[in-house]
Amino acid sequence: MAEARLVPRTPLEDMARPGRYGLADGPAGVLVQERADRVLASVIARHGQGGAVAEAVRSAFSLDLPPGPRRIAARGVAFTGVGPDQWLVAAEGDARRDFVARLGAALAGRAAVADQSDGRVVLEVSGPRVLDALAKGIPVDLHPAVFTAGAAANTLVAYIGVQITRIGDALVYELMASRSLAGSLWSWLATSAAEHGLELRQPRRG
Amino acid sequence: MAAIGQALRLSSGGQIDRGRALGFTFDGQPYQGFSGDTLASALVASGVRLVGRSFKYHRPRGILSAGGEEPNALVELRTGARREPNTRATLAELYDGLEATSQNRWPSLGFDVLALNGLLAPVLVAGFYYKTFMWPAGLWERLYEPMIRRAAGLGRAAAAADPDHYEKAFAFCDVLVIGSGPAGLAAALAAGRAGARVILAEEDFACGGRLLAERQEIDGRPAAQWVAAALAELGALPHVRLMPRTTVFGTFDHGTYGALERVADHLPVPPPHTVRQRSWRITAKRAVLAAGALERPLVFPGNDRPGVMLAGAVRSYLNRFAAVPGGDMVVFTCNDDGWRTAHDATAAGLRVAAVIDARPQVAARVRQDSVGRAILGGRVVGVQRGRGVHGVTIVDADGRRATIACDLLAMAGGWSPVVNLTCHLGGRPVWDEARAAFLPGPLPPGMRVAGAAAGDLTLARCLAAGAAAGAAAAEELGFKSAAARAPRADDEPAAITPLWFVAGAGKAFVDFQNDVTVSDVRLAVREGFRSVEHLKRYTTLGMATDQGKTANVNGLAILAEASGRGIAAVGTTMFRPPYSPVAIGAIAGHHRGKDFRPTRLPPSHAWAAERGAVFVETGPWLRAQWYPLPGETDWLASVSREVRATRAGAGVCDVSTLGKIDLQGRDCGAFLDRVYTGMFSTLAVGKARYGLMLREDGIVMDDGTASRLAPDHYFMTTTTANAGKVMQHLEFCHQVLWPALDVQMVSVSDQWAQFSLAGPRTRDLLQKLVDRQHDLANDAFPFMAAREITVLGGEFARLFRISFSGELAYEISIPARHGDALIRAIMAAGAEFGITPYGTEALGVMRVEKGHVAGNELNGQTTARDLGLGRMMSTRKDYIGRVAAARPAFHEADRWGFVGLRPVNPAQRLYAGAHFLPQGAPATEAYDLGYMTSVAYSPMRGQWIGLGLIARGPARIGERVIAHDPVRSGDIPVEVCHPVHFDPDGGRMHG
Amino acid sequence: MRIDCPYCGERGSEEFSYLGDADTLMARPDADRPDAAAAFHAYVYLRDNPAGRHRELWYHGAGCHSWLVVTRDTRTHAITVVISAAAPRAAGGRG
Amino acid sequence: MRYSIFSLIRQAFRGHAGWEPAWRDPAPQSEYDVIIVGGGGHGLATAYYLAKVHGITRVAVVERSWIGSGNAGRNTTIIRSNYGLPGNTAFYEWSMKLWEGLEQDLNYNAMVSQRGVINLYHSDAQRDAYARRGNAMRLHGVDAELLNRAQAREMLPFFDYENARFPIQGGLLQRRGGTARHDAVAWGYARGADRLGVDIIQNCEVTGFLIDSGHVRGIVTTRGVIRAAKVGLAVAGNTSRVAAMVGLDLPMESHVLQAFVSEGIKPLIDTVMTFGAGHFYISQSDKGGLVFGGDLDGYNSYAQRGNLPAVEDVLEAGMAVWPGLGRIRYLRQWGGLMDMSMDGSPIIDRTPVAGLYLDCGWCYGGFKATPASGWCFAHLIARDESHPVAAAYRLDRFATGHLIDEKGQGAQPNLH
Ligand SMILES: Cc1cc2nc3c(=O)[nH]c(=O)nc-3n(C[C@H](O)[C@H](O)[C@H](O)COP(=O)(O)OP(=O)(O)OC[C@H]3O[C@@H](n4cnc5c(N)ncnc54)[C@H](O)[C@@H]3O)c2cc1C
Ligand SMILES: NC(=O)c1ccc[n+]([C@@H]2O[C@H](COP(=O)([O-])OP(=O)(O)OC[C@H]3O[C@@H](n4cnc5c(N)ncnc54)[C@H](O)[C@@H]3O)[C@@H](O)[C@H]2O)c1
Ligand SMILES: Cc1cc2nc3c(=O)[nH]c(=O)nc-3n(C[C@H](O)[C@H](O)[C@H](O)COP(=O)(O)O)c2cc1C
Ligand SMILES: [Zn+2]
C-beta neighbour count of B459 within 10 angstroms: 27
Chain D contact partners (≥3 CB pairs within 8 A): B, C
Closest chain A residue to B667 measured between Cα atoms? A47
CB B885 within 8 A of CB B694: yes
For ligand 2, the distance from its centroid to the CA atom of residue B627, given in whole angstroms, is 65
Mean pLDDT of B637-642: 98
CB–CB contact D302 C46 (8 Å): no
How far C46 CA lies from chain A's nearest CA (Å)?
31
Instruction: Output the domain CATH number for residue B236.
Output: 3.50.50.60
What is the interface pTM, i.e. ipTM, of the complex?
0.97
Q: Is residue B560 located within the same domain as residue B606?
A: no
The yes-or-no verdict on residue B3 having pLDDT over 90 is no
The yes-or-no verdict on residue C95 having pLDDT over 90 is no
For strands D199-201 and D59-62, give the pairing. parallel
Q: Is residue B740 located within the same domain as residue B877?
A: yes
Q: Is residue B287 located within the same domain as residue B183?
A: yes
Chosen for mutation from B257, B695, B736 (greatest number of chain C CBs closer than 10 Å) is B736
Chosen for mutation from C2, C13, C15 (greatest number of chain A CBs closer than 10 Å) is C15
- Closest residue by Cα to atom 19, ligand 3, is D334
Which whole-number Å values give the CA distances from D354 to B405, C46, D350, D357, D393, in the listed order?
Answer: 76, 21, 8, 8, 18
pLDDT for the residue C91: 40
Residue B2 lies in a domain: no
B556 closest CA partner among B544, B577, B573, B538:
B573
Name the domain count of chain B. 7
Residue-averaged pLDDT of chain A: 96
How far A122 CA lies from chain B's nearest CA (Å)?
13
Q: Is residue B392 located within the same domain as residue B244?
A: no
- Burial (CB count within 10 angstroms: exposed 0-12, middle 13-18, buried 19+), residue B781: buried
Indicate where chain A has its CATH 3.30.1360.120 domain(s): 19-36+119-205
Closest chain C residue to A140 measured between Cα atoms? C11
Q: A38-115, which class in CATH?
A: alpha beta
- Diameter of chain B by CA atoms? 115
Q: Which ligand is nearest to the CA of B293?
A: 2
The yes-or-no verdict on residue A162 having pLDDT over 90 is yes
How far C53 CA lies from chain B's nearest CA (Å)?
16
| Nearest CB partner across the interface for C62, out of A69, A81, A154 | A154
pLDDT for the residue B690: 96
Residue B487 lies in a domain: no
CB–CB contact D303 C77 (8 Å): yes
Indicate where chain A has its CATH 3.30.70.1520 domain(s): 38-115
Residue B950 lies in a domain: yes
Q: Band of the pLDDT at C90, cuts 50, 70, 90?
A: very low
Where does B563-667 have alpha helices with state H? Answer: 567-570, 584-588, 605-610, 635-648
The yes-or-no verdict on residue C94 having pLDDT over 60 is no
D212 closest CA partner among D355, D349, D36:
D355
CB B967 within 8 A of CB D146: yes
Residues 6+ apart with CB under 8 A from B188: B175, B177, B180, B198, B200, B230, B234, B240, B470
For ligand 4, the distance from its centroid to the CA atom of residue C64, given in whole angstroms, is 4
Q: A19-36+119-205, which class in CATH?
A: alpha beta
- Closest residue by Cα to atom 18, ligand 1, is D366
Distance CA B849, CA B868 (A): 16
Instruction: Output the domain CATH number for residue B576.
Output: 1.10.10.1100
Chain A residues within 8 A of C84 when measuring between CB atoms: 84
Residues 6+ apart with CB under 8 A from B871: none
Chain A contact partners (≥3 CB pairs within 8 A): B, C
Distance CA B949, CA B933 (A): 7
Three-class SS string for chain D?
A: CCCCHHHHHHHHCCCCCCCCCCCCCCCCCCECCEEEECCCHHHHHHHHHHHHHHCCCCEEEECCCCCCCCHHHCCCCEECCCCCCCCCHHHHHHHHHHHHHHHHHHCCCCCCECCCEEEEECCHHHHHHHHHHHHHHHHCCCCCEEEEHHHHHHHCCCCCCCCCCCCCCEEEEECCCEECCHHHHHHHHHHHHHHCCCEEECCCCEEEEEEECCEEEEEEECCEEEECCEEEECCHHHHHHHHHCCCCCCCEEEEEEEEEEECCECCCCCCEEEECCCCEEEEECCCCCEEEEEEEEEEECCCCCCCHHHHHHHHHHHHHHCHHHHHCEEEEEEEEEEEEECCCCCEEEECCCECEEEEECCHHHCCCCHHHHHHHHHHHHHHCCCCHHHCCCCCCHHHHCCCCCCCCCCCCHHHC
Q: Is residue B885 located within the same domain as residue B897?
A: no
- Burial (CB count within 10 angstroms: exposed 0-12, middle 13-18, buried 19+), residue A27: exposed
CB–CB contact B253 C2 (8 Å): yes
| Nearest CB partner across the interface for C44, out of B696, B735, B740 | B696
Q: Is residue B734 located within the same domain as residue B759?
A: no
The yes-or-no verdict on residue A41 having pLDDT over 50 is yes
Q: Is residue B196 located within the same domain as residue B289?
A: yes
Mean pLDDT of B507-517: 96
pLDDT tens track for C10-27: 999 999 999 999 999 999
Q: Would an 8 Å CB–CB cutoff place A112 in contact with chain C?
A: no
Q: Which residue among B38, B176, B207, B210 has the greatest number of ligand 2 atoms within 8 angstroms of its CB, and so is best to mutate?
A: B210
The yes-or-no verdict on residue B687 having pLDDT over 70 is yes
pLDDT tens track for B165-213: 999 999 999 999 999 999 999 999 999 999 999 999 999 999 999 999 9
The yes-or-no verdict on residue C92 having pLDDT over 50 is no
The yes-or-no verdict on residue A131 having pLDDT over 50 is yes
Domain boundary residue, one of B560, B589, B618: B589
D225 pairs with which residues across the strands?
D220
Size of interface B-C (CB pairs under 8 A): 63
pLDDT tens track for B354-408: 999 999 999 999 987 767 899 999 999 999 987 789 999 999 999 999 999 999 9
CB–CB contact D3 B964 (8 Å): no
Domain boundary residue, one of B413, B445, B464: B413
Mean pLDDT of A10-19: 96
Domain boundary residue, one of B589, B612, B642: B589
CB–CB contact C65 B731 (8 Å): yes
Residue B141 lies in a domain: no
CB A118 within 8 A of CB B815: yes
Q: Is residue B955 located within the same domain as residue B972?
A: yes
pLDDT tens track for B729-783: 999 999 999 999 999 999 999 999 999 999 999 999 999 999 999 999 999 999 9
Q: Angle, to 10 degrees, between the axis of helix B762-769 and the axis of helix B819-830?
A: 120
Q: Is residue B677 located within the same domain as residue B699?
A: yes
CB–CB contact C78 B731 (8 Å): no
The yes-or-no verdict on residue B159 having pLDDT over 90 is no
Name the DSSP class of B860.
Answer: S
CB–CB contact C7 A161 (8 Å): no
Q: Is residue B769 located within the same domain as residue B804?
A: yes
| Nearest CB partner across the interface for C7, out of A84, A139, A161 | A84
Q: Would an 8 Å CB–CB cutoff place D318 in contact with chain B?
A: yes
pLDDT for the residue B581: 98
Residues 6+ apart with CB under 8 A from B797: B770, B788, B789, B790, B791, B812, B813, B814
Q: What is the dihedral of CA D358, D364, D365, D368, to 10 degrees?
A: 90
CB–CB contact B731 C76 (8 Å): no
pLDDT for the residue C88: 56
Q: Would an 8 Å CB–CB cutoff place B741 in contact with chain C?
A: no
Name the DSSP class of B476.
Answer: H
pLDDT for the residue A1: 44
Q: Is residue B180 located within the same domain as residue B279?
A: yes
The residues lining ligand 1, judged by C-beta closer than 6 Å to any ligand atom, are: D 37-43, 62-65, 69-72, 74-78, 205-206, 234-238, 242, 257, 259, 293, 336, 338, 362, 364-368
Q: Would an 8 Å CB–CB cutoff place C81 in contact with chain B?
A: no
CB–CB contact B527 D19 (8 Å): yes
pLDDT tens track for B68-124: 999 999 999 999 999 999 999 999 999 999 999 999 888 899 888 888 888 888 999
Residue B160 lies in a domain: no
Chosen for mutation from C1, C2, C7 (greatest number of chain A CBs closer than 10 Å) is C7
Domain holding B92, by residue range, is 17-132
Chain D residues within 8 A of C16 when measuring between CB atoms: none
| Nearest CB partner across the interface for C62, out of A81, A86, A155 | A155
- Closest residue by Cα to atom 23, ligand 2, is B179
Which residue ranges in chain D fall short of pLDDT 70?
none
The yes-or-no verdict on residue B132 having pLDDT over 60 is yes
The yes-or-no verdict on residue B991 having pLDDT over 90 is no
For ligand 1, the distance from its centroid to the CA atom of residue D363, given in whole angstroms, is 9
pLDDT tens track for B920-956: 999 999 999 999 999 999 999 999 999 999 999 999 9
Q: Is residue B275 located within the same domain as residue B212?
A: yes
pLDDT for the residue B135: 84
**Residue D399 Cα to chain centre, angstroms:** 26
How far D211 CA lies from chain B's nearest CA (Å)?
32
